[in-house]
Amino acid sequence: MSITEAIRAPLAGKAIRAPRWSLDGAGLIRVLDIVLASAALLFFLPLMLLAALAVRSQGGGPVLFRQQRIGLGGRVFDCLKFRTMAADAEAQLPGLIDAEWRASRKFRHDVRVTRLGGFLRRSSIDELPQLLNVLRGEMSLVGPRPIVMDEAALYGRRLSNYCAVRPGLTGLWQVSGRNDVPYRRRVAMDVWLVRNLTLGVYLAILARTVPVVMSRRGVY
């Protein structure tokens, strides 16, 4: 069984319903994704080039970190970020897993994060390459936070809701405390967003994202 088939297996026989308004994939939200992501990419291109040079200067390891995430319809894609950890971060993870990781899939103080990486995370610059994911149709500007494959089981029967839309560069979780939000509440937020994703909600979350990023609340 392929990776994608393994993700889709729990969805067999379940209706994957798009939001009641957005016509995901062909509607106005997709058009806005393309227009706004293109404009943002042009605006942030100088900053992204500087970030890429800074990461490269750290020595060893790629500039971009690619991690497989679950997307629309259960399809798997490579989610892009600027690398913020040591080059061997994935190899270090098994020895670091503890109760905090199991509860939130995050470490408040991750020893694998470099000094530069900490700055990129606090400023959210590390996520700017995901604008390319948006343009490629793998993500939306607004949607559930993209999850890795071992998180699918944590969504349980809610996974079909998650898979009904493209995951987002920002979303309700990101503007409501981010990593300070317990995982179960984050799942509930994702389900609410999928069921209520209208143009108004899309624009409201985009508007709230800027001050939230500036405040750096819940970022670690």
Confidence of residue 105 (pLDDT cuts 50, 70, 90): low
Instruction: Give pLDDT, residue 216.
Output: 65
Instruction: Give pLDDT, residue 3.
Output: 42
Confidence of residue 126 (pLDDT cuts 50, 70, 90): very high
Query: Which among 110, 112, 91 has a CA at the least distance from the CA of 100?
Result: 110
The sign of the torsion formed by the CA atoms of 158, 159, 163, 166 equals positive
pLDDT single digits (tens) 180-200 = 788 889 999 999 999 888 888
Confidence of residue 88 (pLDDT cuts 50, 70, 90): low
Asked if the model's pLDDT at residue 139 lies above 80, the reply is: yes
Residues 92-114 have a mean pLDDT of 58
Asked if the model's pLDDT at residue 166 lies above 70, the reply is: yes
Confidence of residue 7 (pLDDT cuts 50, 70, 90): very low
pLDDT above 90 as % of the chain: 47
Asked if the model's pLDDT at residue 137 lies above 80, the reply is: yes
pLDDT single digits (tens) 28-53 = 899 999 999 999 999 999 999 999 99
Instruction: Give pLDDT, residue 125.
Output: 94
Asked if the model's pLDDT at residue 99 lies above 80, the reply is: no
Confidence of residue 85 (pLDDT cuts 50, 70, 90): confident
The sign of the torsion formed by the CA atoms of 33, 36, 40, 41 equals positive
What secondary structure does DSSP assign to 9-25, as a single string? GGGTT---PPPTTT-TT
Specify the pTM. Answer: 0.79
DSSP state of 108: S
Asked if the model's pLDDT at residue 204 lies above 90, the reply is: yes
pLDDT above 70 as % of the chain: 74
> Residue 133: how many CB atoms within 10 A of its CB?
24
Tell me if 52 sits within 8 A of 132, measured CB to CB: no
Residues 110-130 have a mean pLDDT of 87
How far, CA to CA in Å, does 181 sit from each of 74, 143, 175, 186, 219? 24, 16, 10, 6, 11
